[in-house]
Amino acid sequence: RKDWLPMYKIEPHLHTNHVSKCAWLPADALAGLYHAAGYHAVAVTDHYNMDTWDYLGIDPKDPADVMPRFLDGFHRMQEAAARFGLTVYLGAELRFYENDNDYLLYGFDPALLAHPHEIMSMGSVAFSDLIRGTDSVLIQAHPFRAGCIPLAPCFLDGIEIYNASPRHLHHGHNDRAQALAASQGPAFIRTAGSDCHRTEDVGRSGICSAKLPADSAAFAAMLRAGDFSCMLPDA
């Protein structure tokens, strides 16, 4: 499709096995695979949830070592991607204690997430209020996947309208996500992503832009401006 062929391809939803318990691939493998798939940039959105803290052996109530450990996948990805000329953006996929919803966060200061127990305890609405007016972008991932509850759009900057994970396509209800996004105004952000955890997930979706954001802040600004298109499958 024509809209798959702009100048730059970006993956906004990717997990490393350095941080995310459910991810299978290390940074070196991910960088090589995404380069081979023709991508120019990736956003590392490692999971920020209880599974992650258990996996890393971190007490979320004791933040002394949280961010260096949480950022390990991002930093490893930066190092590996540099060999291929890939740009890497910092993201996170947050899950609060309140339910099994997941939220993609971009354009944030890492200090924001330095106290996991406090962040996860506050819930999605309070967190939305916390970041309102900042440069952060909050996107609900796969809002209609089994076990998830769509958050009221007023608390979000946007939603993931297409999640290409092959293990969730049949119950992810991307069609419902697209319908919800269509009911909102043009400022409501719509993203698509591979939700990459394994080799077979690489490059299944993403976003395309005529300009390549230079860093994480510029990537979030591009999302807010809507200067991109989603890589959606043929109808």
Could you give the CA distance from residue 226 to residue 150 in angstroms, rounded to a whole number?
Answer: 22
Handedness of CA 157, 161, 166, 168 (dihedral sign): positive
Residue entry with tokens 């043929």: 234
CA angle 186, 169, 50 (to 5 degrees): 85
User: Do 69 and 58 contact (CB within 8 A), yes or no?
Assistant: yes
Full pLDDT tens readout for the chain, 235 residues: 444 455 899 999 999 999 999 999 999 999 999 999 999 999 999 999 999 999 999 999 987 889 999 999 999 999 999 999 999 999 999 999 999 999 999 999 999 999 999 999 999 999 999 999 999 999 999 999 999 999 999 999 999 999 999 998 777 799 999 999 999 999 999 999 999 999 999 999 999 999 999 999 999 999 999 999 999 987 4
Strands 87-94 and 47-48: parallel
SS3 204: coil
Three-state DSSP at 194 gives coil
